[in-house]
């Protein structure tokens, strides 16, 4: 999951911080989008038979950045949020907890595969980022 969040930081550009960046963690649309990307990435890393749709994932991240800008956040504020290590750890914890709720047993590959196939079959946000 760190890699996908780092990818988001790279897509966002140079890093600088402002006080409003902390407000991004309260933007459900942005947070949930990052969680979807992170969950798809985690499944693709833990299940050898499922791959991430990297272009779709990158497109999702760019769309999230665009949406954050529409909400009034600057590139610098977005970058500061994406680079925040505490926030990354918080989001990773939420994403992993959501995967467990969906049926993942941490460290058991087949459970990631089962959840991934289910997400693909249901056409969820996570499933659309997997193949």
DSSP H or E stretch at residue 120:
helix 109-122
Q: Work out the average pLDDT over 26-50.
A: 95
Question: Confidence band (pLDDT; 50, 70, 90) for 13?
Answer: very low
Q: How far is CA 73 from CA 8, 9, 33, 55, 69, in A?
A: 16, 15, 16, 24, 5
Whole-structure pTM over 0.85, yes or no? Answer: no
Domain boundaries, the chain: 2-128
Least confident window among 9-13, 58-62, 76-80, 92-96 = 9-13
Distance (Å, rounded) from C-alpha 126 to C-alpha 43?
A: 9
Average model confidence (pLDDT) across the chain: 86
pLDDT at 116 over 90: yes
Residue-level pLDDT at 5: 45
């Amino acid at each position: 999951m760190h890699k996908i969040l780092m990818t988001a930081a790279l897509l966002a550009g140079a890093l600088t911080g402002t006080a409003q960046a902390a407000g991004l963690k309260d933007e459900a649309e942005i947070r949930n989008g990052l969680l979807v990307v992170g969950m798809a990435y985690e499944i693709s890393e833990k299940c050898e038979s499922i791959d991430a749709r990297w272009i779709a994932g990158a497109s999702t991240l760019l769309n999230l950045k665009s949406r954050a800008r529409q909400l009034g956040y600057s590139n610098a504020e977005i970058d500061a949020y994406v680079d925040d290590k505490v926030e990354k750890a918080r989001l990773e914890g939420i994403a992993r907890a959501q995967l467990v709720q969906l049926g993942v047993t941490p460290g058991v590959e087949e459970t990631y595969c089962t959840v991934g196939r289910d997400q693909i079959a249901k056409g969820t946000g996570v499933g659309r980022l997997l193949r």
